[in-house]
Amino acid sequence: MINIGIIGLGTVGGGVYEIINKRLSEIELRVGSPLRIKKVCDLREEFAEELNIPKGIFTTDYNEVVDDSDISLVVMLTGNADLDFTILKKCFEQGKHIVTANKALMAKKWSEIFELCRRYKTLIYFEASVGSGIPVIQGINEGLAANRIDQIKGILNGTTNYILSKMEEEGTSLEDATADAVKAGFAEVDSSADLKGWDAAHKLCILTNMVFPHPVKLEDIYCEGIENIELSDMDFALEMFGFSLKLLAVFKRKGDEAEVRVHPAFVPEEDMLAGVFDENNGILVSGDSVKDVMFYGKGAGRFPAASAVVSDIIYLAQKISYSIAGKIPYIHTDTSSNTRVIDMEELSFQYYLRFMTEDKPGVLSKITGILGAENISILSCFQKGRAEGGNIPIITLTHMASVRAVRRALKKIDALDTTG
């Protein structure tokens, strides 16, 4: 008999409780042993009622789960990284294994968590922390185990993808599309963690640590959000080139070094990621043998996330049931190599630059002059529309240009009194 405890009965936790009860016999068949939810914990007692949780197994004190010696697997879904880390340490000390959906916990405490796993011979599964129900963690870790993963390019945040889709498809402004996302339940009222790219950066941090032998921290990841995107930028790229604007999270291996970055980027039509719309996620993974493989699906929601958690429970419980949980690590990374994350300033990209300028003679010449002085070669340059008295946009597409040079140029151009 495998006894499990659930801490946290919010959106995901409630879904997990429901799925386990609905499909218990199939789950036990796969686990190879009977399974029972022995204790369920949440501070919000009303959840116990809503889910018809028997009085005897509900508690508001998580220590009742952690200290129950019958429980070998704890499903940790409080959503609070600090609290979850405290619970995790207590569980691991007692040899309990963990399933979690907490991306902040995994991203911030990666090295410490796997150090504890080694020390206590415990396992942590975290499929739901990236891409919700999409089995991308397991896909990379097991399905593509034969490969050296060279690149991961993903749309990892459903909220911003929903917003960008609305803007592209319906011509909605960023503000209206964001309000729309809140109404549709795809964004929190405070959606800044999504808009600023932090949520995607957390997920990228997890994926990168799975495949790259350098312990990558959140602060190593270049992160730029979509807060400053305007509708005109999207329209322009779509009309001119058929490009879609997406918030991309990119890991790219270059020998012992890697680019790890989150930022908006134009994606050509023929790229599979260009077809990922609305609240969906898409993760393109390239291995040295398999080449490109894409995983796609809903990036959020009660049951998709709970699907990932329950699948983790099944395969972790199976290991517990056969007494091999913790004998072999779930995630294998050798952190001994001489690796590093490449500083963003060392990279080069093709840039799309929009300058809002006064409609005065000489402005274009000043701007292109500064770009030229920084060795930034211009592929095309457009001046679009003309608002009486207002500022007009000058749009520039560059050839490959160094980030350092572009940043220097933008600083100088910002200092001109003709651009806003």
Q: Which residues bind a copy of itself (CB under 8 A)?
A: 15, 19, 23, 26-27, 29-30, 32, 127, 133-135, 138-139, 142-148, 270, 272, 274-275, 277, 287, 289-298, 301, 303-304, 306-311, 313-315, 318, 322, 324, 327-328, 332, 334
Q: How far apart are CA 62 and CA 76, in angstroms?
A: 10
Report the alpha-carbon angle 389-390-396, nearest 5.
130
Please report how close the Cβ of residue 144 comes to a copy of itself at its closest, in angstroms: 6
Helix or strand holding residue 66 (H, E) = helix 63-66
Give residue for tokens 């592209």. 168
Number of C-beta neighbours around residue 57 at 10 A:
17
Q: How far apart are CA 78 and CA 62, in angstroms?
A: 10
Torsions phi, psi for 26 (to 5 deg): -65, -40
Q: How far apart are CA 13 and CA 54, in angstroms?
A: 16
Please report how close the Cβ of residue 161 comes to a copy of itself at its closest, in angstroms: 14
- CA 37 and chain centroid, separation: 30
Catalytic residues: 203
Q: How far apart are CA 368 and CA 376, in angstroms?
A: 9
Q: How far apart are CA 53 and CA 285, in angstroms?
A: 40
Please measure the distance between the N-terminal and C-terminal CA atoms of the chain and give it in whole angstroms.
67
Q: How far apart are CA 378 and CA 356, in angstroms?
A: 17
Q: What is the CA radius of gyration of the chain?
A: 24
Q: How far apart are CA 229 and CA 216, in angstroms?
A: 28
Q: Which is nearer to a copy of itself, 156 or 370 (CB)?
A: 156
Q: How far apart are CA 218 and CA 110, in angstroms?
A: 10
Stated length of the chain = 420
Residue from 377, 385, 379 nearest 357 by CA:
385
DSSP state of 171: -
Give residue for tokens 């004998």. 327
Beta-bridge partner residues of 59: 41
